[in-house]
Amino acid sequence: MADSNKTATLTFGDTTIDLPMMSPSVGPDVIDISKLYGKAGVFTHDPGFTSTSSCVSTITYIDGEQGELLHRGYPIDQLAEKSHYLEVCYLLLYGELPTATELEDFEYRVTRHTMVHEQMMNFFRGFRRDAHPMAVMVGVVGAMSAFYHDSTDISDPWQREVASIRLIAKMPTIAAMAYKYTIGQPFEYPRNDLDYASNFLRMCFAVPAEDYQVDPILSRAMDRIFTLHADHEQNASTSTVRLASSSGANPFASIAAGIACLWGPAHGGANQACLEMLREIGTVDRIPEFIARAKDKNDPFRLMGFGHRVYKNFDPRAKVMKKSADEVLDLLGIDNNPTLQVAKELEKQALNDPYFAEKKLFPNVDFYSGIILEAMGFPTSMFTPIFALSRTIGWVSQWKEMISDPGLKIGRPRQLYTGETRRDYVDVENR
Ligand code: CMC
């Protein structure tokens, strides 16, 4: 980021003030309004942050018009094709692609932290068996701060590093345990001889009574899903993590806040909602009915897996995901998957519909991910936990970047108050 020599002039009433502008390395210029209230006594109003930059970051860049997503400058399609999740984790966390030695060391450190404290088993057992795995994850990840006291001091860079590695390493274990608990099967311990994705698959699908061999096709598909969800700049859950931790809250509590935010159907919960919608549509002949509902202003129904606050073009992750869905179903020998057929036809019809074209509504990452996850054997309730475990690296990297900034301030938005002005208390008998 560089201070630009441009300024913006704001005039209202008799007041005119110059506001400094900043230029990013790529993307639109930013007007710095941080001193506006002090100088002019007014606030700006931007609910939903549609025009507001909330931080300076060097991690991820999205060009919504072009449909481009870069992590530390590298395009997501290249990373999905040529890299793998733990290498992308390293890139997001430390800023550069690792050398072979650095990668080996990083993988070693992550792998050695995959087990969770044995007493956490009891914590899981406190939940009802029919709890949604996201509910379990919010609770258990928050509870990590009660188990890992030696990595909660955010002023210590070493503790921050240990907390980061613990979160990346333990999240698959926690997500898999949440799943096993809801289906009443024993927890599977992590296996450090397996890669990150294979280990997760094994912890989800193995049972002690049988041998379990991880299918390399599924493992590669799983890794790609993790990679495609790794980070997405200042989305709702990431902003939640930043805001929660701006008070100095410990990393486990802050990431639990991010998980809670991700769960919503407008955000990470959309993958579950999308597959449920595709199943409800059921057959291609019913698609026009659902498109009509999505366009009807009096019907709250929306096409799940469509639209994005930032992308006004194809979500680049959706492109890779669609290709992956084809590959995975093909490799698994699943012909004529009805959900995939409905998805492809729905995409075609929606893209040819003027409503979706005018509003620039394109399929997003959640549109095809559920089809792959379902083919792999996951129930819909596990889709959002898988998003959460994949996004943990994004949350952790953004948290680390924020905490390392010496100019960190607690996040504290202002408001446009429209309630009652001052009035005197009325005794109950006089109301
Ligand atoms: N189906 C039908 N109409 C839609 C949809 C949709 N999926 N998305 C937006 N619109 C319409 C909306 O009704 C509005 O119309 P109008 O201007 O006439 O009132 C217009 O498009 C703009 O919508 P908005 O809600 O103001 O846009 P937003 O930027 O606030 O919302 C969104 C973005 C992702 C929440 C929204 O597109 C949506 O609800 N999509 C469905 C849920 C979904 O797939 N979410 C996953 C997002 S990607 C993964 C992630 O980030 O977690």
| HSE-CB of 287 using CA atoms within 13 angstroms | 19
Report which of 221, 235, 245, 220 is spatially closest to residue 399, judged by C-alpha positions: 245
**CB of 269 shorter than 6 A to ligand 1:** no
Dist CA 310 CA 355 (whole Å): 18
What digits encode the pLDDT tens for the residues 81-140?
999 999 999 999 999 999 999 999 999 999 999 999 999 999 999 999 999 999 999 999
Residue nearest to atom 30 of ligand 1 (CA): 309
Dist CA 343 CA 328 (whole Å): 15
Length of the chain, please? 431
**CB of 361 shorter than 6 A to ligand 1:** yes
Cα-based distances in Å from 307 to 55, 73, 303, 310: 24, 24, 8, 9
Dist CA 68 CA 77 (whole Å): 9
Cα-based distances in Å from 204 to 133, 304, 386: 12, 26, 11
Measured in angstroms, how far is the CA atom of residue 320 from the centroid of ligand 1? Answer: 21
Q: Which of 237, 239, 302, 309 is the pocket-test mutation for ligand 1 (most atoms within 8 Å of CB)?
A: 302
Could you say which residues of the chain have pLDDT below 70? 1-4
**CB of 365 shorter than 6 A to ligand 1:** yes
**CB of 235 shorter than 6 A to ligand 1:** yes
Residue nearest to atom 51 of ligand 1 (CA): 267
**Which pLDDT does position 2 carry in this prediction?**
52
**Which pLDDT does position 398 carry in this prediction?**
98
Dist CA 383 CA 385 (whole Å): 6
User: Which amino acid is it at 223?
Assistant: D
What are the beta bridge partners of residue 147?
A: none
Dist CA 254 CA 240 (whole Å): 8
Q: Catalytic: which of 195, 232, 308, 315?
A: 308
What digits encode the pLDDT tens for the residues 216-244?
989 999 999 999 999 999 999 999 999 99
**Which pLDDT does position 3 carry in this prediction?**
65
> Does the active-site annotation cover 335?
no
Measured in angstroms, how far is the CA atom of residue 266 from the centroid of ligand 1? Answer: 8
- pTM of the model as a whole: 0.93
Q: Which of 306, 315, 319 is the pocket-test mutation for ligand 1 (most atoms within 8 Å of CB)?
A: 306
**Which pLDDT does position 337 carry in this prediction?**
82
Dist CA 61 CA 27 (whole Å): 8
| HSE-CB of 139 using CA atoms within 13 angstroms | 17
> Long-range pairs for 15-22 at CB < 8 Å and ≥24 separation?
15/40
Two structure tokens written together for 310? 């930032």
> Does the active-site annotation cover 84?
no
**Which pLDDT does position 1 carry in this prediction?**
52
Q: Catalytic: which of 285, 366, 405, 427?
A: 366
Exposed, middle or buried, 280 (CB in 10 Å: 0-12/13-18/19+)? exposed
Residue nearest to atom 17 of ligand 1 (CA): 359
Measured in angstroms, how far is the CA atom of residue 325 from the centroid of ligand 1? Answer: 23
**Which pLDDT does position 329 carry in this prediction?**
86
Dist CA 27 CA 51 (whole Å): 13
